[in-house]
Chain A
Amino acid sequence: MISAEEAARKPLPTPDADTAAFWRGLRDGQLLLQHCVACGNVQYYQQATCRACGREELEHRPASGRGKVHSFSVVHRAPGPAFKADLPYAVLLVELEEGPRMISTYTGGPPDEVTFDMPVELALEKVTDEVTLPRFRNI
């Protein structure tokens, strides 16, 4: 059970051994995907092994940052006090040009302009010195 004090703060990611490179990449301005040198699988999120073949020969390569909206939902009731000030906002399921999908939010315009299969591009948002969130805007 979480306390009311905790609920008032926005949750921020705590990188672990598997994901430190991903969050460091965002801080440096890049959205990193893992490419398996052995089988060619491209994966998001980051982990120590390839989800397709199980090998560990994974390379981090920057994504193009382009993709399209596979699905979305405009939030009108916040999941907690911390997000109330942002309402309404569009949560996106973005399908990246490289194949993987990821959860993000829409930025740079009103949420009601989001449509299915709309092309979007990466828009980095620095939240703290440690954390930069990958968001997306209309191209």
Chain B
Amino acid sequence: MNKDTLRGKVAIVGIGQSPVGKVPGRSPLWLAADAAKKAVADAGIDKSQIDGVLSSHAMASPFHRFSVAFSEYFGIQPTFSNNLQVSGATAATMFNIGASAICSGLAEVVLVVAADSLMTGLTPDLALRSLTESRDQQYEMPFGIPVANTFAMTAHRHMKEFGTTPEQLAKVAVTQRRHASLTRGAQQTTPITVDDVLNSGMVTTPYHKLDCSLISDGGAAFILMSAERAKTLGIEKPVYILGGGECYTHEHIFLMPSLTVTGAVESSRRAYKMAGYAPDDMHVAGVYDCFTGTVIMMLEDLGFCPKGEGGRFVADGQMTYGGKIPSNTHGGLLSFAHSGIPGSLFHFHEVVAQLRGDCGPRQVEGAKLGLVHSLGAGFATNATTVLGTEDTL
């Protein structure tokens, strides 16, 4: 293990979430500030102690420099700030960069915060169209490819190569809905069955409506500081960043090296290596779940089951309580909320809460090591973070 890495040097000491789902009359800046206020209170610090702010663009906000606009709105003047953008993978990269900034002396207390208002600020139609705009203007968009398309084609090929079934895909949605039913404030909490998913109307094969994630309002925020500082301040139950890894394999789906093996293999390998732990050591996971098939492919690429067996793994109950790796215990993007870039921050919020033992009825007993994997742009961007309690240092 390389002693010069950021392993164990930075702690997450505060977490906060705004209301999620349909939150009318609230701007992305308000949602971000609400989450940040809660994270600051949770850490027990004063907002004036924040000297670093990492955020990302909000589609429903007119501000091009969201992290800067946010700081003004929140009443702070940081000396380190940026807006990160690698689509859905942004969340995990914020922790990598925030931790790096703390380790290198660029900042002492970093606020990671993102929020958007896709449901009410933008409306679902414009949100989907704006997301489609992120595809290539010349080689993809003229063909009318929906946001779901790149993910649909990868899952479809996975079904062809490994025999993954629509029922197995649906099981992901069913499992996560059950998780969300135990999560206060989740956007969708009504239990569903495999048949409900299969009968929910086709969006783009193989994905039905209930195979697709939600469109939501909401934001989340985190306070990061050095492990030493957390100790000095007497922070209770700090959660440590043990490892981070990223991988960017392509921009266009047609240049993706393989449709069924993704950059998550490399990003997670790097994160596990830095952390000094293996997939089998993880107790809980937040696995990016923009679509059901995405989860199945990620459970394989993150090393929780062999390639091609993700469908059976999920159908056997291995991604829920009592299984090999309880995943997306808050309900994930499929049932808790998906407000774009902030979506994967909700996974971080949940995994940190799990490692603190604060999850009440959905607590994974004895959870000490957790993984969050963020990805985006049809698997073009991948970032993995391994988190742990004090016992795991």
Contact = CB atoms under 8 A, between A and B. Distances in A.
B126 A1 contact: yes
Contacts of A13: 137-139, 141-142
A77 B288 CA distance: 23
A105 B153 contact: no
A73 B59 contact: no
Nearest to A90: B205
A103 B126 contact: no
A7 B143 contact: no
A116 B153 CA distance: 11
Interface stretch (B92-100, B215-223, B248-256, B348-356): B248-256
A13 B141 CA distance: 8
Interface size class of A (residues with CB under 8 A): 35 or more
Contacts, number: 124
| From A14, A16, A102, A105, residue with most partner B Cβ within 10 Å | A102
A23 B157 CA distance: 29
B204 A77 contact: yes
A71 B204 contact: no
A79 B254 contact: no
Contacts of A45: 136, 138-139, 252
A100 B20 CA distance: 42
B83 to A, nearest CB: 16
A83 B156 contact: no
A10 B144 CA distance: 8
A49 interface: no
B60 interface: yes
Given A14-B138, A91-B153, A79 B146 contact: yes
Interface of A: 1-2, 4, 7, 10-16, 19, 23, 44-45, 70-83, 86, 89, 91, 93, 100-105, 116, 127, 131, 133
Interface of B: 59-60, 122, 125-126, 128-130, 132-133, 136-149, 152-154, 156-157, 160, 201-207, 252-255, 259
28 contacts: A1-B130, A2-B129, A2-B133, A7-B126, A7-B129, A12-B142, A13-B138, A13-B142, A14-B137, A14-B138, A19-B138, A45-B138, A70-B157, A73-B153, A73-B204, A74-B204, A74-B205, A77-B203, A78-B144, A79-B132, A82-B144, A89-B144, A91-B153, A91-B204, A93-B153, A103-B254, A105-B143, A105-B144
